[in-house]
Amino acid sequence: MTVWLAMLTLNTAQADEGMWLLQMMKEQHLTDKMKQQGLKLETDSLYNAEQPSLKDAVGIFGRGCTGEIISGEGLILTNHHCGYGAIQQHSSEENDYLANGFWAMNREEELPTPGLTFTFIEKIIDVTDSIRACINRKEITEYGSFSQVFLQRFADRQLASSNYHGQPGIEAQCLPFFAGNRYYLFYKKVYPDVRMVAAPPSSIGKFGGETDNWMWPRHTCDFSIFRIYADSIGEPAEYSDTNVPLKTPNHLTISLGDLQEGDYAMIMGFPGSTERFLTRSEVQQRMDCVNTPRIKIREARQTILKEAMAADHKVRIQYASKYAQSSNYWKNSIGMNKAIIDNKVREAKSKQEALFMTFADSCGNSEYQNVVDGIDETVKRSNSTVLLNTAFRETFMNAIEFGAPYAMMDSLKKALGQKDKAAVEKWTFAIRTAFYNIHNKDYNHEVDRKVAKALIPLYATLTKEMPDFYQTIEKKYKGDTDRYIDDLYNNSITSSEEKLEKFLKRPTIKAINRDLATAYSRAKWDFYRNVSKRMLPIKDELNLLHKTYVRGLCEMYAPTPKAPDANFTIRLTYGNIKTYSPRNGVQYDYYTTLEGVMEKEDSTNSDFIVPTKLKELYKKKEYGRYADANGQLPVCFITTNDITGGNSGSPVMNAYGQLIGTAFDGNWESLSGDINFDNGKQRCIVVDIRYILFILDKFGNCNHLIEEMTIAE
């Protein structure tokens, strides 16, 4: 073990900052600090590698959120925005669950959701020495030790020789921590039969919408409920009508107790990504080369989607999830750039670099003395490439959906030239399948055409490097981008089902060679591969430089430990319920109530529509056991917990490990927190469990679900 890692075991954690590794809690004496802030549990109750613990009631919901188990029958609680894609998947013009909500009145009504999974963490193993041995034996270079391909192959080898080999649903993943100074192997158990159980209408689950996103005070009941199904012995299995609800080894007890400022709060979940060890130059690159182009491109696309969704009920359902996903980090990027300036993040990074240089000089370490300059030089060389990569991915990989499977077209062309009937049949089937993967129920050709007309010219204003089809626009279409796009969307083989089927009945090499969508897609993917190749050496250089820089920073800050950056692995954060002042003369309370929902109601603004039934419940004020001591219905509250994307849906627990709410957002003033934590302004926004249960019970009439839960009054 290196010196600084050993020092991590000698002291307690810092205040509220840190997304801490469960497997290092004892080494870092983390529980001692948590107890000072109010925790009433021992470490083994939170995480135990051999026995059930709170860790076993928390998992990955889908591919980017957290969920918690709230009954012994596999009931999952997560955010509405985490379940949004599934809710949208099940919605149609006839059954608009996005608008009207969904409430399964019994198990038979719970809806299978193809593609949705829930993942538990089975075991975590430190494999740092094994990875270093691979480097020492020259099985892999130090650059290569960061490669996802290498790490996954390593994980697969470990799985093949483990007791988990052959067990249903088990997967292995290996990831670097502390910028590659430490590695952990995760064994995961993935359940593929997850069914939708309950979701409030969007007017409740997304109340405040884009307007309130990242803002406090909030009044959003951001929750949805699903259930895990398994085979008869509790093992993961694909959907079958013979599957049964999973009997889980642990689930969270729910607390209905009142919350006070200063109360202990902890969160267990899967934060996606932070970059707390960046230099000032890297922060500037993030602002200029990532956030700024993302803002411009997403804003242009969202304007089109919003207009189309407002004009057509079917389009609204088709693009609801796509719009929400795009909008979330569009606004995050705006807020982050503002917060970096307002919170003087660049200045803080400069101070840290000056301290680090003093430390490097004091210990005479030449690697440490040169590493920041090395990072700055690499950043300077890479700015144009990073901007290009962002602009291209945002435009052509994330926004414009239309295209053609050009590689399949090449294979078909070869089969036609060889007059290989079997191969022709194979590739016509593959092309048809690829077409319907794009032209599915969530795709609208005319909406996508409008997006292309807005973004293809916009991309050309952001960078001078463009795919070859821009030359086609200049030469063949005399610079008329709209005419090129209309030809692309009207006349290509894959522009409609009719044109595709006509081509597949009598495919010809000539038709493929003349197809505009095939040429467009070939140029797009050739360009993307080239940009990706240019990004690789930049990433390699920065990976090694950061490995040195992070090791040095941890030594400099020792004996105070630092948490590694988030990478969508299970973490624990702790803090307290707390008010805050975003600016001079303004003080925000730590909670909101249903009264605030009614105050925000605006029938002319779709973000603030209040359902009639909720207004009736408010007028009666029959909140029952969900009311606080003052007879009000709590809605949301804020804590000082350190969270980021991926923590959405995470359980917020009290000092006894009981569920008091579900995390769903951060606050506007601290959107630079992924880069630099601000203990004074950083807040986690939480929907109060009492509001969730109230909506579930009184609005959704799902008392049968309440009865499944373990509730402490």
If asked whether residues 215 and 354 sit together in one domain, one would say: no
Measured CA to CA, the distance from residue 447 to residue 342 in angstroms comes to 37
25, 48 contact by CB (below 8 A): no
Query: Is 501 a domain residue?
Result: no
Verify that 287 and 231 share a domain, yes or no.
Answer: no
Separation in Å, CA 181 to CA 10, 127, 143, 191: 18, 11, 13, 32
Residue at a domain's end among 348, 383, 418: 383
Q: Which two tokens stand for residue 51?
A: 């026995």
Same domain, 236 and 316: no
Residue 9: predicted pLDDT = 36
| Domain-located, residue 641 | no
Low-confidence stretches of the chain (pLDDT beneath 50): 1-15
| pLDDT at site 369 | 97
The pLDDT, as a whole number, for residue 10 is 32
Work out how many domains the chain is built from and give that number: 2
* 599 in any annotated domain: no
Question: Do residues 246 and 286 share a domain?
Answer: no
Of 56, 193, 222, 678, the active-site residue reads 222
- The answer to whether residue 36 is domain-embedded is no
Tell me what pLDDT residue 679 has.
85
Q: Are residues 97 and 164 in the same domain?
A: yes
Catalytic (active site) residue 361: no
Q: What is the DSSP letter of 615?
A: H
Please identify which of the residues 56, 71, 81, 219 carries the catalytic annotation. Answer: 81
Residues 81 and 204 both lie in one domain: yes
Residue range 518-549, pLDDT digits in tens: 999 999 999 999 999 999 999 999 999 999 99
Do 251 and 57 form a contact (C-beta atoms < 8 A)?
yes
Q: Is 471 within the bounds of a domain? A: no
Residues 213 and 293 in one domain: no
Instruction: State the pLDDT at residue 8.
Output: 38
Provide the CA 465 distance to its chain's centre, in angstroms. Answer: 30
Locate all alpha helices (DSSP H) within 594-647, ordered by sequence: 594-600, 612-620
Residues 114 and 66 reside in one and the same domain? yes
Nearest-angstrom CA–CA distance, 355 and 467 = 45
186 and 301 co-located in one domain: no
648 is catalytic: yes
**Rounded distance, CA 546 to CA 277, Å?**
8
**Whether residue 248 is found in the same domain as residue 286:** no
User: pTM here?
Assistant: 0.94
Q: What is the pLDDT of residues 179-206, one digit of tens each?
A: 999 999 999 999 999 999 999 999 999 9
Which of 383, 399, 424 delimits the end of a domain? Answer: 383
Q: How far, CA to CA in Å, does 149 sit from each of 155, 174, 175, 389, 526?
A: 10, 10, 11, 21, 21
Q: Of the listed 203, 281, 326, 648, which one is catalytic?
A: 648
DSSP 577: B
3-state DSSP helix/strand/coil percent for the chain, to nearest 5? 50, 15, 35
Asked if 299 and 228 sit in the same domain, the reply is no
Residue 639 maps to a domain: no
In a domain, residue 371? The reply is yes
* Residue 1, pLDDT score: 39
- Helices 80-90 and 313-342, packing angle to 10 deg: 160
- 29 has catalytic annotation: no
- Whether 91 and 226 map to the same domain: the answer is yes
Residue in the block written with tokens 């538990």: 120
Q: Where are the beta strands (DSSP E) in 253-372?
A: 254-255, 264-269
| Structural domain contains residue 691 | no
The last residue of one of the domains, among 353, 383, 413, is 383
DSSP letters spanning 476-502? TSTT-HHHHHHHHHHHSGGG-HHHHHH
Range of the domain at 337: 280-383
Using only C-alpha atoms, the chain has a radius of gyration, in whole angstroms, of 27
Q: 374: closest CA among 561, 140, 552?
A: 552
